[in-house]
A and B are shown apart, each in its own frame.
Chain A
Amino acid sequence: MNCDTIRPWIIEYGDGDLDADRRARVEAHLNGCADCAQLARQMAATRGLLRALPPQRTSAQFEARLAERLARTQRPVPREGWLERLAASWRVPPRALRPALALGAAAVAAVGIALHPSPPTVLPPPVPIATESALVSQCVAQHQSDVAAQPLSDPAAQNLTARLTDPATAAPTNADVEDSL
């Protein structure tokens, strides 16, 4: 396995999302490649810094508003912009690097918006990640609502979990529910 094949997997490796086979291949490569091992350490350090940030309480509609704001500020990115230059400097195919940069940018934007009601006007364009996150939040909220409506469930526990473990989660409102079948 060469570096170009392994490097796109390093992000998922750090997140623990690789299956056993790929994980073993990545680990074998990292043991013999100083450059990739260095990249993996840098990503782990970045991830550690993000995780070390104190949790910020956001409003229930935070993710939806963030996605909307990102969509408004989205503009075409020059083909040879800083994103591509940075990607080239890491020798990672741009398409593979984008999710990692988008995730990092989204985390930075999230912290900034949580700390400051008026966030910076210029934001990077991680729209796919942000919108997916908001979609997941809506799906989880609807799932929790469905669980609470089961006869052998504990609605109070569902509500507490929803409110405390993910304050940004908001169940879909009647406006979202177009029709029930």
Chain B
Amino acid sequence: MRARLPILSRTGLALAALLCIGGAAQAGPRTGRPRLPRPHLGRLRPFVSPSPPAGALQAQSDPTARALLRRMLVAGNNLALAGTQVTTVAGGATSEQYVLRDGARALRMDYTRPPQMRGEVIVDDGRTYYHYLPGQNRVETQPSQVRSLRVRVPQVITQIRSGELLVQRLGQDTVAGHACVVVGVTTRGGNPAERKFWIDPTNGAQLKIEQDDAAGQPLSVSYYTSVTYNPPLNAHSFAPPQGALAPGPNSSPQPTVPTPAQVGFTVLQPAFLPPGFHFQSAAVTKYQGKKVAALRYVNGLNVLSLFETPDNGRGPIKRYPRAGVLVARQGGLKIVLVSSLGRNKLEKVVNSLR
């Protein structure tokens, strides 16, 4: 039997066996919804589970957990899977979607609930991201997201190797009938387990993800209730929704700040960034005919987006129109900063713009 397994599967089983050694004592109940203890129990309580011991992630990363996380990232680029996924976000809203994914080549999500999202379809064919909204009989398009993954996965792997991201094995569990290893990831100096992944060690498939906010409160959880690996795919699997207009070509974001010649103004850049953040890429968009420079800063887990556009208003302003958004005016520019970071950090970033 074992001799018939592909080399990759054998390697995965060996890795799984290695990771499970010593983990049995921490093993939680084998259910689709793990129920290990957790210090921060919010509205997501029914879905959240293993939490690391206090300070566990502040220590050095666990090499086997790092290897498994790398395996998950690589599988995200290569593995095909199909299954039903349930997502719950803070506040209790829940969706269910059928996911068909061909690594970082293509993705399709068909929503079955809640009622107001039933019939919505997301198709990302690796060139364009289509979002069909049946209630409005409309298809929105954006640049492909899965294509971005192909570029960004190596960057995250580098961050794991360099120790910018701390990775720990938190336990083991079962999701959608598959034994998983639970891995927690945090930024250096960040909260314990800002993100947790349930990873099938046989192939690196990510079967569950849990996200916390900067204060350590649960933000969201997504998990598969059923999953099939390497499902049959055909030419129509990732066909754009009917009615989608053929979009223009999308160019990949590059790590360069827009020049004055490109946007018509000098783009301000922050002298201060929260620890671990670095510039990732930029884009130029338009808003009501004015150019908007969009700069992205990441730390591997979180994104800080800085938008700048010419503004005719006078005098300084600084306000928070909604959670995680700071609007300011500086140097003839309207600044919009978006991030899940707290207000203090957003203010420090804006105050440091030069």
A residues near B (Cβ < 8 Å) are 12, 17, 57, 59-60, 67, 128, 131-136, 138-140, 142-143, 145-157, 159-161, 163-166, 170-174, 176-181
Q: Report the nearest A residue to B304, measured CB to CB.
A: A143
B294 touches A142 (CB 8 A): yes
Q: How far is the CB of B226 from chain A (nearest CB, A)?
A: 15
Q: A136-B321, A143-B305 given as contacts; is B140 within 8 A of A170 (CB)?
A: yes
How many CB-defined contacts (below 8 Å) exist between A and B? Answer: 185
Cβ of B254 within 8 Å of any chain A Cβ, yes or no, is yes
Q: A151-B156, A156-B109, A177-B285 given as contacts; is B303 within 8 A of A146 (CB)?
A: yes
The total of chain B residues at the interface (CB under 8 A) is: 85
Bound: A3/B121 CA distance, A? 56
Partner of B138, one of A60, A133, A157, A177: A60
Partner of B133, one of A60, A67, A156: A60
B142 touches A157 (CB 8 A): no
Partner of B327, one of A132, A157, A159, A176: A132
Q: Interface-forming stretch among B19-27, B28-36, B50-58, B88-96?
A: B88-96
Q: Which 4 A-B pairs have the closest CB atoms?
A: A157-B220, A149-B148, A143-B338, A143-B305
Q: How far is the CB of A28 from chain B (nearest CB, A)?
A: 23
Q: Main SS of the interface on chain A?
A: helix
B222 touches A178 (CB 8 A): no
Q: Which of B116-142 contact A (CB under 8 A)?
A: 116-117, 120, 122, 128-129, 131, 133, 136, 138, 140-142
B338 touches A181 (CB 8 A): no
Cβ of B228 within 8 Å of any chain A Cβ, yes or no, is no
Cβ of B296 within 8 Å of any chain A Cβ, yes or no, is yes
Chain B, residues 165-188, CB within 8 Å of chain A (1/0): the string is 000000000000000000001000
Q: Report the nearest B residue to A147, measured CB to CB.
A: B303
Chain B, residues 307-321, CB within 8 Å of chain A (1/0): the string is 101000100000111
Q: A154-B220, A163-B117, A179-B284 given as contacts; is B336 within 8 A of A139 (CB)?
A: yes
Partner of A148, one of B145, B197, B320, B338: B145
Q: Report the nearest B residue to A16, measured CB to CB.
A: B320
Q: Which residues of chain A have C-beta atoms less than 8 A from B94's C-beta?
A: 160
